[in-house]
Amino acid sequence: MRILVTGGAGFIGSHLCERLLAAGHAVWAFDNLDPFYDPELKRRNLREIARAGGAFTFVQGDITEPEPLGSLCREAGFDQVIHLAARAGVRPSLEDPALYQRVNVEGTVRVLEAARRSGVRKFILASSSSVYGCNAKVPFAEQDPVSAPISPYAASKVACEALGHVYHHLYGLDIVMLRFFTVYGPRQRPDLAIHKFARLIQAGQPLPVYGDGSSARDYTYITDILDGIEACMRQSFGFEIFNLGDSRPVRLDDLIRLLEHALGRKAVRRTLPPQPGDVPITYADLTKARERLGYQPRVPIEEGIQRFVEWFRTTGAGGARGVATSS
Ligand code: NAD
């Protein structure tokens, strides 16, 4: 198949491009190398994709602009679009809420529009566990209400889901919304907790611990997310929403202990008040994804953290800006 991956130079996108190339697809990554974190990390991701071989094309462009996205879609004739490009991160979205709406909402409309005008039939979009807000009921199931997001980022993802439904209803596109639960692994965004904490522990610097350490995240290893995306590519759904998580929330203080163990160093903790926009827990109900996609997360957090730390040690990755615990 001919596949467009928006945000293909980023953390999840670069892994996805490699996975799709290995499966024999022709893959285009569309990305503006946004400076939210060091674009050199994205260039490195692109070099690694290219080294892996296969029919890979990188196009630098901005999803909020009609071109070159429109002509790329017309000329390449994509079978499927996997739309990952976004401004990610909960806390930074409080600093620049309008930017988050512009990139995530207006950008998504432009990608949907370019896709439907060029005859794309299948569209998969990265939503987020943050749409559940402070859902009191755990685990979070797809049919739970998502009308009470608590950050501009989460609200932008709710809007993306609504737009996906519009394009399915009006134009019959086959659309899948995937609610990712905090994704981690090699190349993880440097602003996310695991990556940021690893860097601070390694440097012997204090870790900002927001709240009493009891907040919990359903950390999901990157290869499990890729398995879920691939399962969606193989079927037609009309319009569907799926959680892709691990369904085993990990408390923040336990996460720090796992990192200490893997890095062989003690963390220095600096306790701070809970952050506005952060939810107390994320926890995926995977019943629907298991039944309809055959989705089954395979990498437990203990193993995933080891793999992340191995990568972290070999790359000395850095370049963080800001901090987030989920996205
Ligand atoms: P990332 O920041 O590494 O990747 C996003 C990519 O989009 C970046 O390479 C960036 O340059 C690109 N981009 C941003 N604005 C753009 C624009 N205007 N035009 C073109 N490209 C643009 O983030 P990620 O963690 O890989 O996240 C990928 C997707 O998954 C995002 O939609 C994010 O909201 C969603 N998501 C991620 C997580 C997670 O834990 N990582 C959780 C839930 C949802």
- The per-residue pLDDT for range 278-289, each reduced to its tens digit, is 889 999 999 999
- Residue 196 domain flag: yes
- Confidence band, pLDDT 50/70/90 cuts, at residue 86: very high
Same domain? 179 vs 264: no
Same domain? 189 vs 261: yes
Same domain? 106 vs 205: no
How many angstroms separate the alpha carbon of residue 265 from the centre of ligand 1?
A: 31
pLDDT at site 316: 66
Options 153, 184, 219, 283, the catalytic residue? 153
Q: What is the CATH number of the domain that holds 119?
A: 3.40.50.720
For the Cβ of 62 lying below 6 angstroms from any atom of ligand 1, the answer is: yes
Evaluate whether 277 touches 326 at the Cβ level (below 8 Å). Answer: no
The closest residue, in CA terms, to atom 3 on ligand 1 is 10
Identify any residues that bridge with 125 across adjacent strands, giving them in sequence order: 83, 177
- Residue 326 domain flag: no
Kindly report which listed range (207-221, 256-270, 306-320) carries the lowest average pLDDT score.
Answer: 306-320
Same domain? 213 vs 122: no
Helix ranges (H only) for 172-207 are: 193-203
Q: Is the pLDDT of residue 320 over 70?
A: no
- Is the bond preceding 68 in cis, omega lying within 30 degrees of 0? yes
Same domain? 101 vs 9: yes
Out of 14, 16, 33, 34, mutate this one to test ligand 1's pocket (max ligand atoms within 8 Å of CB): namely 34
For the Cβ of 101 lying below 6 angstroms from any atom of ligand 1, the answer is: no
Same domain? 133 vs 41: yes
- Report d(CA 4, CA 27) in Å as an integer: 6
SS3 186: coil
- In this prediction, what percent of the chain has a pLDDT beyond 70? 96
Record the pTM. Answer: 0.96
Same domain? 205 vs 141: no
The closest residue, in CA terms, to atom 8 on ligand 1 is 10
Range of the structural domain that residue 308 is part of? 185-217+248-283+299-315
How many angstroms separate the alpha carbon of residue 8 from the centre of ligand 1?
A: 8
- Residue 289 domain flag: no
For the Cβ of 243 lying below 6 angstroms from any atom of ligand 1, the answer is: no
Active site residue 153: yes
- Report d(CA 284, CA 282) in Å as an integer: 7
Same domain? 240 vs 101: yes
Number of domains in the chain: 2
Same domain? 192 vs 175: no
For the Cβ of 111 lying below 6 angstroms from any atom of ligand 1, the answer is: no
Q: What is the CATH number of the domain that holds 309?
A: 3.90.25.10
Same domain? 45 vs 148: yes
